[in-house]
Amino acid sequence: MSVSTESDRLLFKGADWDFNTIQRINDAVEEIALNELGLNVYQNQIEVISTEQMLDAYSSIGMPLFYKHWSFGKHFARNEAMYRTGMQGLAYEIVINSNPCISYIMEENTATMQTLVIAHAAYGHNHFFKNNYVFKQWTDADGIIDYLEFARDFVMKCEEQHGAEEVERLLDAAHALMNHGIHKYPRRRATDLRTEEKRELERREHDERVFNDLWRTVPGKDNGRHDPTALERRRALLELPQENILYFLEKSAPLLLPWQRELLRIVRIIAQYFYPQTQTKVMNEGCATYVHYQIMNRLHDKGLISEGALMEFLRSHTNVVFQPDFDDPRYSGFNPYALGFAMMKDIERICHEPTAEDREWFPDISGCGDHMAVLRDVWANYRDESFILQYLSPRLIRHFGLFRVTDDAEDPHLKVAAIHDERGYRDIRRALARHYDPAYFTPDIQVVDVNLAGDRKLMVQHRAMNRILLEEKDARLVLQHIADLWGYDVAMAEIDPADDTVLKDHKARARPGIVPLETA
Amino acid sequence: MHIVDRRLNPGGKNLANRQRFMRRAKSQIRKAVHESTASGSIKDADDGGEVVLPAQGVHEPQFRRSSHGGFRDHLLPGNKEYVPGDTIPRPRGGGGDGGSEGSPDGEGEDDFRFALSRDEFVDLFLEDLELPDLAKRKVASTEAVSWQRAGYSVTGSPSNLALNRTVRNSLARRIALKRPKPEELEALRAEIAALDEVDERRPELEAELARKLRRTGLIPYIDPLDVRYKRFDAIPKPVAQAVMFCLMDVSGSMTEHMKDLAKRFYILLYIFLKRRYKNVEVVFIRHTHEASEVDEETFFNSPETGGTVVSTALEEMAKVVAERYDPDSWNIYAAQASDGDNTASDNERTAALLTKNILPISQYYAYLEVGRDAEHFPPGFIRRDSDLWQTYSALIKAGAPMAMRKVGHRRDIYPVFRELFAKKTSAEAEA
């Protein structure tokens, strides 16, 4: 028997790696992730790619295949120019929420970085994708790659059949409305005939059970039934008000051709697929960063990576979780990695070494001892908004030195409303959570009515929260796109939700191009 | 877990998107390209480069919250001094001091900067330009041919024998006609050898062996029917080389400014020819009252004094052509730059040389008359057409295949060049 020395156990030495190294790294990481952290992941598929391929993936929103559109070429050209001039580095990895979970790793990474990336993407993000309720509810990890393939082929076929420019015009319009092509709440499923029948039967049985002929003699209203107004009938018919504008246009725009409706649907479904990512940025990155931090340290504890590798990892990790202060020139909003990672570490601390303050704020988890169980539960059942609202501790608020500033356009000065003190904790926590609420950061725009009897004018409404209006130039352009798809005039009113006063009006007239217009 | 190496996948997956983007932004990119060449040196045009597009042309609009007005609150990290109730003067540039507000995708709306590849750049630069019709006629009648594979034939020279195809045919035929395989014969022989002399199966096996041997003899291994030859088709090949003659007057009257204009024109012509021909050679001929072939450095830079006799340059060109560039295998282009002066007695001789010797062998002859900056002339000053201009005008009127233009300023070079080589509409071509 040979005696294994310290350095024999190392997964790799130096920066070089090959496919056997990756396999060994993955096995070691998997062992820790599954058995020690108790993660539950999709099967992994790790793909090694070059710089250019990374740029490719960047420009098609990280997806391995995508339909063709000039805007992706634009993003590619921009990223490439920024990368070549050194203004921007490339991500170390991209991970796709699919089953199997595909992680792209770059060939330039050192062996340490590959370890970090595998721990981060292939286990951290992967666990989050598989377990978080928003992803479970909204995305179909098994089908997404097939759907993208269908989308790509369908767009290509449309281009052959109807001309690339026709397709481009429609996609331009659809892309402009992508953020408003999302169902924010699960919709009622249409009931099938059998359920309907069963329900009808139950209803009748109930009627029979409670039947009492006396009720007939009780005097009631004259015609008994309430007659719906024309507006109510129209609204019911068109499912108004509707905040999913793309859905509304797909189903109700009078002049669109079937292939055009299908394209709108493709854009809408892809937007819906990405919707969970926008509302779980902090948690998703926090989860992945926490997982890679734990795994890398465990690998070092087990003697599987060297001190040098640990140093290299820590350097990169510290860069990732760096949060500059507001007066720092590098400040550009909250770093989701920093906030997410700090909150995860904080939960771990509360579970093991709670202070009196923690016991008061988090009675159910403080001192419970099993932080992984708590974290797994958090990762499964929260999104950014609810997570911050629930778990941002006073200690972290003090650590980041958070303060809230209010800015009323009618006031010459900004006011400091709350700081990291006893009176401010809850206020700050609530305000920060709201910043991560999708209903707060995307403008609330809805289709409210259609003039069915007359000129078919479409009415759109922006409920301008806090009286913040839309950027005018962009709003005009997007409204024009809506009009082009709708085929008739469109009017948008920006109203103050507090008292329903109209703050601003926009109008757009349909241009020929996407749909053939009726000449009056 | 699977590890997949995607690095070997073909690159350029984004090419289609890039082309769409280029098409979309074409007019703007074209403008940017022309501007970048007007400011920089034209020589750089051959290297491609970075162009800056205004953002709005390729803008993707979205409903976004305005960054002004209304009531908003910001949550910021890093409080050091503030307590509740403090007021902060509004930072200039609107309410947002970089708070959590901002476009969701984090993309700014700056001007759009990106790099064009050399090919894309030159494509746009020379877009819509075309060699004159004359050149195309010439290309169509070239003699050279190249050979290209075109399937198989049943006849041909032994050196073109298509071995694979022949053996494949033979194999198919042998299988179809059930020619016994050598292994079968071998096995049969071995079996017979293993038997006793008196074994009862022996005659039977020997008869079978004899039958198989006969069959082997009847069905040849390779039959003339099987033989195939590689077929080649002759594809006429256009002459893919060109020589460009740069003729320039370097007498004292040519200023640096004029030489610079000429140089720019030559460079454009060079880039243009380079696009069309694999092999482009350049010959520099300078002249005063006598002409000589020189290298580029001398051509543009070393000063010379003397009179001006244009015909000497044409003679020199005819001489060089005769020595080195057979008009049958070279496309010949000539561009002459001059301030228009010529010794009066030489005009007739120049015209004669051009019509008799030079134009018949040239694809294209361009004359560029470089002048002083127009501003240098006093207002109301009317220039008399120069000697050469008058001479050449007469030739063109008589239908000679040449073109001429006047250029006074650097910014005119590119338009003039485009004018000379612009795609002709059919009406113009007939005229």
Q: What is the pLDDT of residues A215-245, one digit of tens each?
A: 778 776 655 455 667 777 777 788 888 889 9
By 3-state DSSP, what share of chain B in percent is helix, strand and coil, each rounded to 5? 45, 20, 35
Q: Which of A97, A113, A132 is the last residue of a domain?
A: A132
CA A111 – CA A446 distance, rounded (Å): 50
Between chains, do A419 and B83 touch, taking CB under 8 Å as contact? yes
CA A380 – CA A119 distance, rounded (Å): 19
The pLDDT score that the predictor gives to residue B96 is 41
Contacts of A327 in chain B (CB under 8 A): 78
Nearest to A471 among B50, B66, B79 (CB): B66
In angstroms, what separates the C-alpha of A213 from chain B's closest C-alpha? 59
Confidence of residue B238 (pLDDT cuts 50, 70, 90): low
**More confident: A406 or B344:** A406
Chain A contact for B61 (CB, 8 A cutoff): yes
- Do B288 and B339 touch, CB atoms closer than 8 A? no
Q: Of the segments A124-133, B324-333, B415-424, which one has the largest average pLDDT value?
A: A124-133
Say if residue A426 is in the same domain as residue A460.
no
The pLDDT score that the predictor gives to residue B136 is 44
Contacts of B20 in chain A (CB under 8 A): 68-70, 73, 164, 168
The pLDDT score that the predictor gives to residue A29 is 93
CA B77 – CA B79 distance, rounded (Å): 6
| DSSP-derived 3-state class of residue B11 | coil
- Do A108 and A242 touch, CB atoms closer than 8 A? no
A interface mutation test: which of B63, B103, B109 has the most A CBs within 10 A?
B63
Residue type, A411: D
Between chains, do B87 and A413 touch, taking CB under 8 Å as contact? yes
The whole-model pTM stands at 0.69
Q: Which of A420, A439, A458 is the last residue of a domain?
A: A439
Main-chain dihedrals φ then ψ at residue A260, nearest 5 degrees = -70, -40
Say if residue A478 is in the same domain as residue A370.
no
Between chains, do B17 and A69 touch, taking CB under 8 Å as contact? yes
- Do A28 and A11 touch, CB atoms closer than 8 A? yes
The pLDDT score that the predictor gives to residue B430 is 37
CA B361 – CA B333 distance, rounded (Å): 9
pLDDT beneath 50: ranges in chain A: 1-4, 224, 520
| B385 has pLDDT over 90 | no
Q: In what order do the strands lie in the sheet with B87-89?
A: B71-76, A403-408, A413-418, B87-89
Between chains, do B2 and A44 touch, taking CB under 8 Å as contact? yes
- Do A407 and B70 touch, CB atoms closer than 8 A? no
Between chains, do A23 and B1 touch, taking CB under 8 Å as contact? yes
Chain A contact for B26 (CB, 8 A cutoff): no
Nearest to B100 among A73, A74, A435 (CB): A435
Structure tokens at B420: 């000379």
The pLDDT score that the predictor gives to residue B299 is 78
The pLDDT score that the predictor gives to residue A118 is 92
Residue A51 domain flag = yes
Chain A contact for B3 (CB, 8 A cutoff): yes
CA A320 – CA A289 distance, rounded (Å): 9
Q: Which of A417, A439, A461 is the last residue of a domain?
A: A439
DSSP characters for B360-385?
HH-SEEEEEEE---GGGSPTT--PPP
Contacts of A55 in chain B (CB under 8 A): 14
Residue A151 domain flag = no
Contacts of B24 in chain A (CB under 8 A): 70, 168
The total domain count for chain A is 3
Say if residue A350 is in the same domain as residue A364.
yes
Q: Which of B79-93, B95-109, B259-273 has the lowest mean pLDDT?
A: B95-109
Distance of CA A345 to the CA centre of its chain: 23
Chain A contact for B108 (CB, 8 A cutoff): no
- Give me the domain span that covers residue A48: 7-132
- Do B98 and A407 touch, CB atoms closer than 8 A? no
- Do A509 and A517 touch, CB atoms closer than 8 A? no
Residue A36 domain flag = yes
Between chains, do A324 and B63 touch, taking CB under 8 Å as contact? no
The pLDDT score that the predictor gives to residue A211 is 82
Between chains, do A468 and B20 touch, taking CB under 8 Å as contact? no
Tell me the pLDDT tens digit for each residue of B134-189.
454 444 445 567 788 888 998 888 888 999 999 999 999 999 998 998 898 999 88
The pLDDT score that the predictor gives to residue B102 is 37
CA B312 – CA A404 distance, rounded (Å): 86
Residue A295 domain flag = no
Nearest to A331 among B68, B69, B98 (CB): B98
Main-chain dihedrals φ then ψ at residue A261, nearest 5 degrees = -65, -40
Say if residue A325 is in the same domain as residue A422.
yes
Contacts of B58 in chain A (CB under 8 A): 70-71, 74
Say if residue A17 is in the same domain as residue A97.
yes
CA B61 – CA A81 distance, rounded (Å): 22
Long-range contacts of the stretch A300-306 (C-beta < 8 A, 24+): A302/A9, A302/A28, A303/A6, A303/A9, A303/A10, A304/A9, A304/A10, A304/A11, A304/A28, A305/A10, A305/A11, A305/A12, A305/A112, A305/A115, A306/A7, A306/A10, A306/A13
Between chains, do A74 and B83 touch, taking CB under 8 Å as contact? no
Nearest to B77 among A45, A402, A472 (CB): A402
Say if residue A20 is in the same domain as residue A112.
yes
Say if residue A380 is in the same domain as residue A474.
no
Helix (H) or strand (E) holding A445: strand A444-450
Nearest to A405 among B64, B73, B104 (CB): B73
CA B353 – CA B309 distance, rounded (Å): 13
| B373 has pLDDT over 60 | no
Structure tokens at B234: 């002759």
- Give me Rg for the CA atoms of chain A: 28
Predicted-assembly ipTM surpassing the 0.90 threshold: no
Say if residue A415 is in the same domain as residue A491.
no
By 3-state DSSP, what share of chain A in percent is helix, strand and coil, each rounded to 5? 55, 10, 35
Say if residue A377 is in the same domain as residue A483.
no
- Give me Rg for the CA atoms of chain B: 38
**More confident: A493 or B41:** A493
For A406, half-sphere exposure in the C-beta direction (CA atoms, 13 angstrom radius) is: 15
The pLDDT score that the predictor gives to residue B427 is 37
Structure tokens at B317: 């060109």
- Do B339 and B370 touch, CB atoms closer than 8 A? yes
In angstroms, what separates the C-alpha of B86 from chain A's closest C-alpha? 5
Between chains, do B7 and A107 touch, taking CB under 8 Å as contact? yes
Say if residue A39 is in the same domain as residue A83.
yes
| B271 has pLDDT over 90 | no
How many Cβ contacts (< 8 angstroms) between chains A and B?
262
Residue of A nearest to B71 (CA): A408
Say if residue A17 is in the same domain as residue A121.
yes
The pLDDT score that the predictor gives to residue A41 is 92
Sign of the C-alpha dihedral computed for residues B405, B411, B413 and B415 taken in this order: negative
Say if residue A451 is in the same domain as residue A421.
no
Helix (H) or strand (E) holding B299: helix B296-301
Residue A498 domain flag = yes
Residue A296 domain flag = no
Contacts of B116 in chain A (CB under 8 A): none
The pLDDT score that the predictor gives to residue B107 is 41
Residue type, A389: L
Structure tokens at A504: 């601003």
The pLDDT score that the predictor gives to residue B54 is 65
Beta-carbon contacts of residue B179 (< 8 Å; ≥ 6 apart)? B215, B216, B219, B221
Between chains, do B17 and A414 touch, taking CB under 8 Å as contact? no
Tell me the CA distances in angstroms from B287 to B293, B306, B351, one per residue in order.
9, 9, 17
Contacts of B102 in chain A (CB under 8 A): 332-333
Tell me the CA distances in angstroms from A388 to A153, A279, A436, A465, one per residue in order.
41, 12, 9, 22
Q: Are strands A413-418 and A444-450 parallel, antiparallel or unpaired?
A: unpaired
Residue A108 domain flag = yes
| DSSP-derived 3-state class of residue A209 | helix
